[in-house]
Amino acid sequence: MIETWPGDPYPLGATYDGAGTNFALYTEVGERVELCLFGEDNVEERVALTECEGFVWHGYLPGIGPGQRYGYRVHGPYDPSRGQRCNPSKVLLDPYAKAIEGGVQWDQAVYGYHFGDPDSREDTDSASYVPKSIVVNPFFGWGHDRPPATPYHDTVIYEAHVRGLTIQHPRIPERIRGTYAALGHPEIIDHLKGLGVTAVELMPVHQFVTDDTLEQRDLTNYWGYNTIGFFAPHNAYSSSGERGGQVLEFKAMVKALHEASIEVILDVVYNHTAEGNHLGPTLSMRGIDNEAYYRLVDDDQRYYMDTTGTGNSLLMRSPHTLQMIMDSLRYWVIEMHVDGFRFDLASTLARELHEVDRLSAFFDLVQQDPVLSQVKLIAEPWDVGPGGYQVGNFPPRWTEWNGRYRDTIRDMWRGEPAALPEFASRLTGSSDLYQDDSRRPAASINFVTCHDGFTLRDLVSYNNKHNEANGEGNRDGTDDNRSWNCGEEGPASGAVEALREQQKRNFLATLFLSQGVPMLSHGDELGRTQGGNNNAYCQDNEISWVDWSDVRENWLLLEFTQQLARLRSDHPVFRRRRFFFGRAVRGSGDELTDIAWLTPSGNEMTDGDWHNGYAKSLCVFLNGEAITEPDRRGRRVVDDSFLLMFNAHHDIIRFSIPKDFGDVWVPEIDTAVPISIDSKLYRAGEEVPVAGRSVRVLRRA
């Protein structure tokens, strides 16, 4: 018989102290809780937790240490119509497990009901078919690791998939490709540094599950938005053969990235879990305390409220659910040293009842938390529920994926009419969305592409989605791509491909020249394609992986992206801390506006120019001497001044250099050519030819 001491109700989860492990599990509905320990031969030994304080069942087991596999069985009522789904025949994952071993083997046993009868109770034991929680060693040699703490306005984000980015890299040892160790490898770090990246935003690395329906189609949940363990690094991304080794490997990755001054931001999914709707499996919280963790339909609690499109939504008005989320976030910051979070479907986190409330309890808790209020907090500001599109409506200190930026920039470069006014707003940081809330341009996370939708190459190569490989009859994925194939669907050659390359450079140039925080989707700088698939969530294969052999074919695009990154890094006028005033300020002896909007003829834009539906070209003057905010040391920032010439028209336009803003101008960027070699100096009053569908950038000498 295993020796058991009373232990403590806090912290929740399994906590190893060097001599033994304290186990603590919250369940209000549970009437009896058994801790299940699994040996190397998978023999199960059950330990009754007899101590219960504040609905937390707990016990301390001396001699139990790292590597121990465990789970829980919760005895209690099973009445789906009342939202109660306890079933002690199901081994349950600890919601606070720091590591998880194995995955789900889809069998009748993992479900709490008999197939065909959702209200029945299925008592087949699930122990052989479900993953197990792992006790981990919390000790790690962090040394002098410190968060880079890059200011938002200096941040460049690179959205990446741990496996997809590294699985085919030829210079990374094969045994670690597709893992945390690969992401921390010098080859990847050097590539990121060359792009000016200051933060990697990792697609979900919390332990997740692949649904049975996907496995039946020989597919997988590649993206990972199906969490089952909010404290555990996903085990399939570990190269370690040790039980729980994924924790140490993840920490080593973070340490390596920090040494290169690169922050780690996690894409987190606190809006739902992998247990799905009322027909889903019983893996963890459903069997622990269904009513406390999930939003149920008021008049029939066998069903789940679903504002995520995935079957369930976590109950954000439950103090225990909020505690779990906050404990998880703090754990990743304090113990795993991550630097911030991007919240998937963040509008759902604001739904205490039905409406999206920006002052909900979750945001109040984050705002006052001394740890979480200091890290980067990024919202995906929408969900699928009523009123779920909330771009611009999140609280101060939060930044947002700016979906309106994406849509506007795509519309501009595919030639949509009447795009200029909103294009100007998005280029300058979206003050219409953020300034009234006392937020700054960095509140806007600017992106043209991300994991969800077309890659940059596909954006200029396809008018329609091509998702046949997903096995859903091409019905999945959005139809609102706002893409343009440049005249031919799919692979092409000659003039069509040349135009596509130019369009890619237009998108990248616009992204890096915009105020706010640029986010680059992994592989776009290498011309990554998914063959027109705009919803590759289930494709863990060459469709989604970055093909590093493309470097040879796309080195010009890579070098162009690196050039843009250097330009942005070298010139603070492209990463202002405050919005433009749009009026005259004192410059170097001359009174000039901090920004001016000009027609191609060099005249200031009028209302008629802005609302000319056919106009697709404009020039922007950025006054580098008018940056009024000080730097971090309190020194006044002075920079060069620039002219940005945007021509989304199909033919060449000659832009006149205005006489009031400087005498001599030096070419910096021309998206009409892969590498700008124009050394000609342009003088005030001269005309600058800007090719159709291109951007030119001039710097005042």
Enumerate the active-site residues: 344, 380
- Helix-helix angle 495-513:403-413, to 10 degrees: 140
Give the CB-side neighbour count of residue 42, counting CA atoms within 13 A: 10
Ordered alpha helix ranges (H), 195-244: 212-216
399-401 and 444-446 strand pairing: parallel
Q: Which amino acid is at 665?
A: W
Between CA 687 and CA 657 the distance in angstroms is 6
227-233 and 263-268 strand pairing: unpaired
Instruction: Tell me 5's DSSP state.
Output: B
User: Which long-range contacts link 189-195 to residues 24+ away (Cβ below 8 Å)?
Assistant: 189/256, 189/257, 189/260, 189/262, 192/158, 192/260, 192/262, 193/260, 193/262, 194/562, 194/565, 195/156, 195/158, 195/520, 195/525, 195/561, 195/562, 195/565
Number of residues that make up the chain? 701
Between CA 670 and CA 691 the distance in angstroms is 9
340-343 and 376-379 strand pairing: parallel
- Helix-helix angle 319-334:361-368, to 10 degrees: 30
> Can you read off the two tokens belonging to residue 111?
């479900």
* Side-by-side strand order, sheet with 132-134: 44-49, 32-38, 69-75, 132-134, 99-101
Any idea what the Cα angle at residue 680 is, between residues 676 and 682, rounded to 5°? Answer: 115
Q: Which amino acid is at 368?
A: Q
Q: Which residues contact 622 (CB under 8 A, 6 or more apart)?
A: 573, 574, 594, 595, 641, 642, 643, 644
Q: Is 372 helix (H, G, I), strand (E, B) or coil?
A: helix
Q: Which amino acid is at 680?
A: K
User: Where does residue 656 rank: exposed (0-12), middle (13-18), buried (19+ CB within 10 A)?
Assistant: middle
Give DSSP secondary structure letters for 410-463. Answer: HHHHTT-TT-HHHHHHHHTT-HHHHGGGT--GGGEEE-S--SSS--HHHHTT-S
Q: Which amino acid is at 38?
A: F
Closest CA to 545 of 172, 167, 189: 167
Sign of the Cα torsion 608, 419, 619, 649 reads negative
**Phi–psi pair at 186, nearest 5 degrees:** -55, -30
Q: Which residues contact 326 (CB under 8 A, 6 or more apart)?
A: 365, 366, 369, 372
